[in-house]
Homo-oligomer: A and B are copies of this chain.
Amino acid sequence: MRLTTMTDYALRMLMYVAQRPERLCTIAEVATAHAISETHLMKITQVLGQRGWLETMRGKGGGIRLARAPADINVGAVVRDVEPDFYLVECMGVDDHCKLTRGCRLTGVINGALGSFLGHLDGFTLADLLPPAPGQEVAVAPPARRRAPRA
């Protein structure tokens, strides 16, 4: 069971931008930092912009920033917005050919599980996902800095 990379990257993009509230970020730097395709990130930025999670400033010196405070960006809402579908089993999708559909209770049970999954995410905001130490440029520091000698 997996979320699409679209949602995975969207969350990481929001986290990256949230950690740099003092400036605009660029898609190129997020792509480099996470070794993610820039084209893929542009698509994600567009969706996050349309849904009101990111703001895009065009032109020279432009970039992206959060459209709201991290504490106002609900994780469950972002996942619902970005994930293309939640067809966990065939009968939940549009191309359902299952012969059991009419009498079967599988859909209801799986839907309930999906509700529990998303309901759990609804309990968190972007602020909850960020590393605890505030003010650091990178929670994303190079390995050498991540393993600092203990005095």
Contacts and interface: CB of A to CB of B under 8 A. Distances in A.
Interface string A89-115: 110000001111011111001101111
Given A1-B3, A102-B146, A138-B103, A109 B87 contact: no
A104 B139 CA distance: 8
A20 interface: no
A111 to B, nearest CB: 10
Interface string A41-77: 0000000000000000000000000000000000100
Given A97-B35, A138-B103, A89 B129 contact: no
A68 to B, nearest CB: 18
A105 B91 CA distance: 33
Q: How large is the interface on A (under 10, 10 to 19, 20 to 34, 35 or more residues)?
A: 35 or more
A35 B11 CA distance: 37
Given A1-B88, A2-B87, A120 B116 contact: yes
A35 to B, nearest CB: 6
A94 to B, nearest CB: 13
A106 B15 contact: yes
23 contacts: A1-B3, A2-B85, A3-B89, A3-B110, A7-B89, A8-B88, A8-B89, A8-B90, A11-B106, A12-B100, A12-B106, A15-B106, A34-B100, A100-B131, A102-B139, A103-B133, A103-B138, A104-B131, A106-B129, A113-B116, A113-B117, A115-B120, A116-B120
